Structure 1
């Protein structure tokens, strides 16, 4: 699976090129167009409830291969995050757009469960190899954090960070409203080395 983007960063579209028989899972109702012969199967809604989106679709290429054009519901960028099979990534739930079968969602990943105190938080963990396509509310910025450096990011702007980065979740104002599910009233402190991806506009 290969991903090429266009119309970025304001109205990003991801063209997913598939080899013979290759498949990609994507958020439902995000397909603009596809080459002739690509089949679509709608999956059970259960796996996408955490995204607050419709049931996902799986697009499979015919024997001669094919392509699918995908666009997020709202304006913004699309960003192919390449997973190398060695390092997992923690990704904002609302950012998922598409993934190949070689990239998996680790629903019960222990470090995230510990971060959120066992509750379902605003992040999910991905691992494997291949491009994980993310939908972003704005252009993507990469903060490269050096060893010993600390930065703070608000959850609404966070896109993704690798397992190699140390993370702490805390309340901005302990007396104010807070939500593990949405990130309201919370902040994330990161310690390097590593790179944290953010979006230049807050998620809706």
Structure 2
């Protein structure tokens, strides 16, 4: 699968170029258009969304996807060695070679037994993310630390160190939404942020 984008960063559309018989999983509502012969199969509901698998015919094909919210679409290429933690519900599309890892030990350390606001993906191929607003990429040097509000986190690779803490220990907090919490990221690595909060 190859990915090209257009209308970014305000109203991103991702075109997925599929080889013969190749399949991709995406939110059913995100499909804008496809080449003739691409077959859609409903894959069930997860996180309040209906997932679909789109499969190209033997001649190959393409599918255009757009997220619900205005903003950027950002492909991240997974190389089979380094996984990515991404905001829950931020994945627009992924091929069968990219898997969602649940549970993920590093997330269990952050969130305990609760389902937090991040998901982990690994494998090979492009993971297409949907952001609210344009994407900001913070390239952190070794030992460089930044603090980010969870509502603005889009994703980060495994080598980046992450610590979750309360903004005000006496205030309300939620690991499901990130309310009342902050994330400290330490390099080396790149942290992707969206410039409009996901509520």
Q: TM-score, normalised by structure 2?
A: 0.98
Structure 2 CA distance for aligned equivalents of residues 118 and 151 of structure 1? 26
Name the SS for the 1:15 alignment partner. strand
**2:194 alignment partner, one of 192, 199, 202:** 199
Corresponding residue to 2:73 among 66, 78, 82: 78
CA distance in 2, matches of 1:135, 1:167: 22
- The one-character-per-residue Cα deviations of 1:114-133 (angstroms, maximum 9, x if unpaired) are 11012100000000011100
Structure-2 separation of matches of 1:145 and 1:118:
30
Task: Provide the rounded CA distance (Å) in 1 between the counterparts of 2:142 and 2:2.
Answer: 33
Q: CA deviation at 1:94?
A: 2.1
From 63, 66, 70, the counterpart of 1:68: 63
Match of 1:10 in 2: 10
Q: For 2:26 and 2:171, how far apart are their aligned partners in 1?
A: 36
Report 1:1-204 matches (<5 A).
1-45=1-45, 48-49=46-47, 52=48, 54-204=49-199
SS at structure 1 position matched to 2:151: helix
Measured against aligned partners, the alpha-carbon deviations of 1:109-168 in whole angstroms (never above 9, x if no partner) come to 111111101210000000001110001001111111111211101100000011101111
Q: C-alpha distance in 2, partners of 1:76/1:149?
A: 28
RMSD of aligned alpha carbons: 0.8
- Could you tell me how far 1:20 is from its partner in structure 2? 0.3
Uncovered stretches (5+) of structure 1, i.e. residues with no partner: none
**For the residues of structure 1 that align with 2:91 and 2:174, how far apart are their CA atoms?**
20
Q: 1:202 offset after TM fit, Å?
A: 1.0
The structure richer in strand per residue is 2
Structure 1 stretches of 4+ moved >4 Å: none
